[in-house]
Structure 1
């Protein structure tokens, strides 16, 4: 199952993976907000309150994990962008050296 997910992720771009993770993070934040609201507004038994706090802890851990993944993907995206810019500059330099200089000769 995990190999299938890894293969699927290999086929997606870094930007679409970032978007997907940001959406998941937003959903987790919404769920966390609802749980916090529920803990403040409702009178809960001790067991229900403990269950809600456990749920909030799990959601917080998911958010932290997603933040780490997003940070890694953004670094990879930044590196890809720098590589693209470097290739563009090298291509422009070769174009100038081989085509523009030939016309001047």
Structure 2
């Protein structure tokens, strides 16, 4: 099953994956804010407060994990952009050398 998930992700662009992770991160942060608000506003028993704090810790870990994944994907996106620009420059250079030079000769 994990291989199938990896296979599907291979077909998704880096930009799409970044958008997807940013949406997940935003949802986690919203849930975290709601849990923090609830802990401040409501009278909770000690057990409920501990469960809420555990849930908040898990959400914080998820946000940190998503931040790391986003950092990696953004680095990959930058690398892809630099490669694309380099290919464009090489194409323009070859065009100038082979096509433009022959027309002037």
Partner of 2:60: 60
- Secondary structure of 1:12's partner? coil
Partner of 2:41: 41
Partner of 1:29: 29
- Secondary structure of 1:23's partner? helix
1:44 to partner: Cα distance: 0.3
Structure 2 segments unaligned to the other structure (5+ residues):
none
In 1, Cα distance between the equivalents of 2:104 and 2:3? 56
1:2 to partner: Cα distance: 1.1
Question: 4+ residue stretches of structure 1 with deviation over 6 A?
Answer: none
1:93 to partner: Cα distance: 0.1
Partner of 1:98: 98
TM-score under structure 2 length normalisation: 0.99
Q: Which digits, 9 at most, give the CA deviation of each residue in 1:31-53, with x for residues without a partner?
A: 00000000000010000000000
1:55 to partner: Cα distance: 0.2
Partner of 2:78: 78
TM-score under structure 1 length normalisation: 0.99
What root-mean-square deviation, in Å, do the aligned CA atoms of Structure 1 and Structure 2 show? 0.5
1:104 to partner: Cα distance: 1.2
Structure 1 segments unaligned to the other structure (5+ residues):
none
Partner of 1:88: 88
Q: Which digits, 9 at most, give the CA deviation of each residue in 1:10-51, with x for residues without a partner?
A: 010000000000000000000000000000000100000000
Instruction: Count residues in correspondence.
Output: 105
